Amino acid sequence: MASITDPQRTPTPVPADTPAARTPATAPESGTLPPIDAVLSAARVVAIPTRTRFRGIEVREAVVFDAPRGPSEFSPFPEYDDAEAASWLAAALDFGWGEAPPPLRDTIAVNATVPAVAAEEVAGILARFPGCTTAKVKVAERGQSLADDIARVRAVREAMGEDALIRIDANGGWTVDEAAHALRTLSEFDLDYAEQPCVTVPELVELRHRLTTGRRADDGQAEGRRAEGERAEEPGFLADAAFPASAGRSPLVRIAADESVRKAEDPLAVARAGAADLLVVKAQPLGGVGRALRIVEEAGLPVVVSSALDTSAGISMGLRLAAALPEHLLAGACGLGTVALLQGDVAADPLVPVDGRLRVRRPALDPELLDRYAASPEREAWWRERIARCRAVLDSRGSRL
């Protein structure tokens, strides 16, 4: 990323519930990144247990900033390298010290997010998302089977009723063959879309082709399975060589790209390749609200704004992105209700769904909660060093607010 400058941005009033009247006394000169000392002195590191294991995580660590423009967050997953994590820092600095684009709406509908839990646990998870009429269900979890996925999706359909929209997210866990088979099987649940069913853009292209025509692009033999995939041993996964032709030209189920946007060198490649019907966009990995907006506008595909399992500080960044999107590009409920999956939060009035929606706001950080969830001194030091290294990466890229 050469720059996170957005000359189009106009100053926006800080929403009422921010620690507001805080003048941007420490705000940097327009465009310049805030000094590292100011960034570190605004930082608090928290470690918040999840209610249920989610993408292998049982404790969510995050840095939250008590920044001049309001709370902000830096929470790349620990395994990400500095080059990738630097974009998350750009986003945090942009939201905490820069100007956010003006919101076009006051509330955002959100989906319930259902981790890869046993079917019996589904109702308990959904109860944390009151009023949500869309659910996103994790599937293709390592060590589980398609039968587990079907049982989980069925439990969601039974709990939410026929009118609910159900999406699935495979996090790239399937080969093309596995995905084609799984999506045909899951089509009885009338899915809204399937998020990142396979890892690569060519795989997504092939899958979309197959879901549209019922045939393989090369009309050849079944491809090999993902070598390390435990699910690969499941009988019947290759029984799809003659995938039944779908009627007409629309795919059996829409394909959404997530990792192919947020982890790609070129976040627009997936749209250019015609590999997805819609995009899932996240403000932190894409370098901030302004940059994500530009990517969405260039891609020209409908989007769902989603969380990175952030605290309310990071969720407010995602909300601001969702609130700034042109209406025709917003593809339904956003994946921003995930504070409900955490055991606690950094705000006394957290951004959890009410009547299936979140109000667009930046809740203040609560000092008592920051103390309660403070990370250990070792983890605190690790995150502070990470911030300094990522900040150096941004300097080397010539990044600006």
- Name the minimum Å distance from CB 22 to ligand 164: 30
Position 75 contacts ligand 164 (CB under 6 A): no
Catalytic residue selected from 138, 157, 361, 400: 138
- The whole-angstrom separation of Cα 24 and Cα 22 is 6
Active site residue 282: yes
Tokens 């996090």 map to which residue? Answer: 171
307 interface partner picked from Mg ion, ligand 164, none, CB below 5 to 8 A per type: ligand 164
- Name the minimum Å distance from CB 258 to ligand 164: 5
Structure tokens at 397: 């890229």
Among 169, 192, 345, 380, binds ligand 164 (CB under 6 A): 169
Q: Which x/- pattern, by CB under 6 A, does the window 10-39 give for ligand 164?
A: ------------------------------
- Name the minimum Å distance from CB 183 to Mg ion: 16
- The whole-angstrom separation of Cα 197 and Cα 207 is 9
Q: Which x/- pattern, by CB under 5 A, does the window 143-172 give for Mg ion?
A: --------------------------x---
Cβ contact 129:101 at 8 Å: no
Among 94, 192, 203, 258, binds ligand 164 (CB under 6 A): 258
DSSP-assigned beta bridge partners for residue 195: 169, 256
Cβ contact 226:171 at 8 Å: no
75 interface partner picked from ligand 164, Mg ion, none, CB below 5 to 8 A per type: none
**Sequence-ordered list of residues with C-beta below 8 angstroms from that of 23, at least 6 positions apart, any chain:** 68
- Name the minimum Å distance from CB 116 to Mg ion: 12
Position 136 contacts ligand 164 (CB under 6 A): yes
Position 168 contacts ligand 164 (CB under 6 A): no
- Name the minimum Å distance from CB 167 to ligand 164: 8
> Parallel, antiparallel, or unpaired: how do β-strands 193-195 and 254-257 relate?
parallel
Quickly list DSSP for 368-390: HHHHHTBPPHHHHHHHHHHHHHH
94 interface partner picked from Mg ion, ligand 164, none, CB below 5 to 8 A per type: none
> Parallel, antiparallel, or unpaired: how do β-strands 165-169 and 134-138 relate?
parallel
Cβ contact 354:24 at 8 Å: no
- The whole-angstrom separation of Cα 264 and Cα 312 is 26
Catalytic residue selected from 69, 282, 386, 391: 282
Compare residues 229 and 332 and give the one whose CB is closer to ligand 164.
Answer: 332
Instruction: Decide: residue 107, CB within 10 A, 0-12 exposed, 13-18 middle, 19+ buried.
Output: middle
Position 380 contacts ligand 164 (CB under 6 A): no
Position 284 contacts ligand 164 (CB under 6 A): no
In the three-class reduction of DSSP (H, G, I as helix; E, B as strand; rest coil), residue 41 is classed as helix
- The whole-angstrom separation of Cα 401 and Cα 129 is 35
Compare residues 18 and 175 and give the one whose CB is closer to Mg ion.
Answer: 175
Instruction: Decide: residue 337, CB within 10 A, 0-12 exposed, 13-18 middle, 19+ buried.
Output: buried
Cβ contact 73:66 at 8 Å: no
What residue type is 263 in one-letter code? K
Q: Which residue is nearest to ligand 164 (CB)?
A: 335
- The whole-angstrom separation of Cα 90 and Cα 74 is 9
Q: Which x/- pattern, by CB under 5 A, does the window 192-221 give for Mg ion?
A: ---x--------------------------
Among 307, 311, 316, 399, binds ligand 164 (CB under 6 A): 307
Structure tokens at 172: 């790239």
Active site residue 138: yes
Among 113, 175, 316, 399, binds ligand 164 (CB under 6 A): 113
- Name the minimum Å distance from CB 33 to ligand 164: 26
DSSP-assigned beta bridge partners for residue 72: 65
Distances (CA, A) of 145 to 11, 119, 211: 50, 13, 21
- Count of residues that interact with ligand 164, criterion CB under 6 A: 13
Compare residues 18 and 134 and give the one whose CB is closer to ligand 164.
Answer: 134
- Interface residues toward ligand 164, by CB under 6 A: 55, 111, 113, 136, 169, 171, 258, 306-309, 335, 338
Binding site residues, as ranges?
169, 195, 258
Tell me the catalytic residues. Answer: 138, 282
Binding site residues for Mg(2+), as ranges?
169, 195, 258
- Interface residues toward Mg ion, by CB under 5 A: 169, 195, 258
